Chains A and B, each alone.
Chain A
Amino acid sequence: DGGITQSPKYLFRKEGQNVTLSCEQNLNHDAMYWYRQDPGQGLRLIYYSQIVNDFQKGDIAEGYSVSREKKESFPLTVTSAQKNPTAFYLCASSQALDQPQHFGDGTRLSIL
């Protein structure tokens, strides 16, 4: 079955700690995205990648970092510089930037 897998489903972070959220897709999509969703709000774009070894900042990139070493993988690191990391994080992919985006099931990050 083709799809987007995010792990873990729940993640807890201690103060001052970096954590990495995993996103893997087997849809052979070139473009991948990370969004943040806060309660009762829509999605805001953190980073996106059009192709392997390339990525661009979205609207709220501060305190986050990404890498795109493989086509199928786009991990997101929430660094200690992100002062309000508690949110629901969603990964998406699409065949190209102008094609419909398909989403994973999300990772809920909380602060201990």
Chain B
Amino acid sequence: GEDVEQSLFLSVREGDSSVINCTYTDSSSTYLYWYKQEPGAGLQLLTYIFSNMDMKQDQRLTVLLNKKDKHLSLRIADTQTGDSAIYFCAESIRTAGNKLTFGGGTRVLVKP
């Protein structure tokens, strides 16, 4: 089945690391994505990881994938006020024509 879940809210102090978690249920996923949405805007692709990888690092962003537990996380190092936004994880499912299934989003609030 297809179900992607995220916690609703995360509060973090400026300069600290943020960790946003996501769980998914479909083992035939090909890619897993992280998108950022600022108020009133579209989704910005942050990073993505192929399902046969464990980790991907891109500047301040680190993605960890635990396939056994179907758990995906996004770590943002040195969190800035500009990182305040809603973050969505999504999985692309090969057996469903590579359709994207999105989680409900995690609202991240960065406090100065």
Contacts and interface: CB of A to CB of B under 8 A. Distances in A.
Interface of A: 4, 6, 40-45, 48, 56, 58, 90, 92, 97-98, 100-106, 108
A42 B103 contact: yes
Given A4-B42, A42-B88, 4 more contacts: A43-B88, A48-B99, A98-B94, A108-B40
Given A40-B104, A41-B104, A103 B31 contact: no
B41 A42 contact: no
Interface in B35-85: 35, 40-45, 48
6 contacts: A40-B105, A43-B88, A98-B31, A98-B98, A103-B44, A104-B42
Interface of B: 4, 30-31, 33, 35, 40-45, 48, 88, 92, 94, 97-100, 102-105
A49 to B, nearest CB: 12
A11 to B, nearest CB: 14
Given A43-B88, A97-B97, A97-B98, A105 B42 contact: yes
